[in-house]
A = this chain, B = another copy of it.
Amino acid sequence: MLAEFDLIRRYMMSPQEAQATDGVALGCGDDATLLIPQLGQQLVVSVDTSVVNIHFPHDAPAHAVGHRALAVALSDLAAMGATSRWCLMALTLDQRVFKEETAAEQWLAGYARGFHALCQQHATTLAGGDVTSGALSISVTVMGEVPAELAMTRSGAQPGDVVAVTGALGGGAGGLALWQQGERDLTHPLLQRYLMPQPRLAAGIALRGLATAAMDISDGLLADLTHLREASQVGVVLEPEALPLVEGLVDALGREAALSAALSGGDDYELLVTLSPDNVAQARAQLAECGLSLSVIGHCSEALGVTGVPAQAATGWQHFCGGAQ
């Protein structure tokens, strides 16, 4: 059995020593971490827990588990238009599932590789953590910054705004379906979307000042649209035929299931935004610089509620209900 302090030292600390240039005055290894917020910025914080067999399969590759646990948390910073700066990782791990200590170490090394690589990609410093014993789960706290008053929220949508999404939808649910059918080729685009989602941080920053409201799509487009509608007190007229479906989704699931995955599957981690029609062209140009498309999928109305939803569409994914309702 690996002892707790060993685990922390070997796998949780950043590969490079944290530096003052990263806004870290004192890194891992003390009771707490000391961070240096930037002047004139608000601190943007969020926490997300990923639990085995709820948020990822027990046999998911270790590096995907590490990547995904951080990605879903960073996605919340992206939705606010924040620059990611630091994260904390609370890892609960049941070493008894490993037959040999080397297997536990291999899993941890892979997990840490996936986590640290995404940290590096988004200039996010792992600034602390906790390791404990129990059923596998990871709580990741992310901390970012945004200039005061520039954060995007869910509550600014106006009647007449268009509703748009970045990238393509349905990959989360489509990838899960493929995984459950036994597909294990991680280079498959749908598995990539499901197991290795990319938080849209650059897109969030690009949309700052353009989007009137924003959030990430984690619970499924329709469920998240409900949150946005309620926060903004607007209605939405949806154009389902305009939904951008992930490449290969229709081939994999068929047209109807593909649409349902995009509407209700969840775990897509694209951004859902509203914009004045006048700003769509500029938003598209700026997202193109991030290599990302922006698809208009409807518009906001004064009449509350949502119209245009295909009859067969489910209403959302709720973890506590164990699946789509």
User: A residues touching B (Cβ–Cβ < 8 Å)?
Assistant: 1-5, 7, 25-26, 29-37, 39, 41-49, 51-52, 54-55, 75-77, 79-80, 82, 86, 88-90, 92, 95, 127-130, 132-135, 137, 139, 141-144, 146, 148, 151, 153-155, 214-216, 231, 318-322
| Among candidates B37, B42, B132, B321, residue contacting A34 with C-beta atoms closer than 8 Å | B42
Q: A42-B25, A43-B35 given as contacts; is B90 within 8 A of A130 (CB)? A: no
Contact between B320 and A137, CB atoms less than 8 A apart? no
Contact between B139 and A130, CB atoms less than 8 A apart? yes
Q: Which residue of B lies closest to A155 (CB)?
A: B30
Contact between A54 and B133, CB atoms less than 8 A apart? yes
Contact between A34 and B151, CB atoms less than 8 A apart? yes
CB distance from A296 to the nearest CB of B (A): 21
Contact between B132 and A51, CB atoms less than 8 A apart? yes
Across the interface, which residues of B come within 8 angstroms of A5, CB to CB? Answer: 318
Q: Which residue of B lies closest to A145 (CB)?
A: B37
Instruction: State how many copies of this chain the complex holds.
Output: 2
Residue pairs across A and B with Cβ atoms less than 8 A apart, 6 shown, are: A1-B321, A25-B42, A33-B46, A47-B129, A54-B132, A135-B137
A3, A5, A32, A154: most-surrounded residue (chain B CB, <10 A)? A32
| Among candidates B26, B32, B37, B48, residue contacting A90 with C-beta atoms closer than 8 Å | B48
Contact between B32 and A130, CB atoms less than 8 A apart? no
Q: How far is the CA of A276 from the CA of B76 in the complex (A)?
A: 46
Q: A139-B139, A321-B3 given as contacts; is B51 within 8 A of A44 (CB)? A: no
Contact between A29 and B139, CB atoms less than 8 A apart? no
Contact between A37 and B31, CB atoms less than 8 A apart? no
CB distance from A64 to the nearest CB of B (A): 19
Q: A90-B47, A132-B51, A139-B47 given as contacts; is B7 within 8 A of A320 (CB)? A: yes
CB distance from A20 to the nearest CB of B (A): 11
Q: A43-B43, A130-B47 given as contacts; is B34 within 8 A of A95 (CB)? A: no
| Supplied contacts A31-B77, A31-B215, 15 more A-B pairs, CB within 8 Å | A1-B321, A29-B154, A30-B153, A31-B154, A32-B45, A33-B44, A34-B146, A35-B45, A43-B43, A45-B127, A47-B129, A49-B139, A51-B134, A90-B139, A130-B139
Across the interface, which residues of B come within 8 angstroms of A214, CB to CB? Answer: 31
Q: How far is the CA of A180 from the CA of B175 in the complex (A)?
A: 47
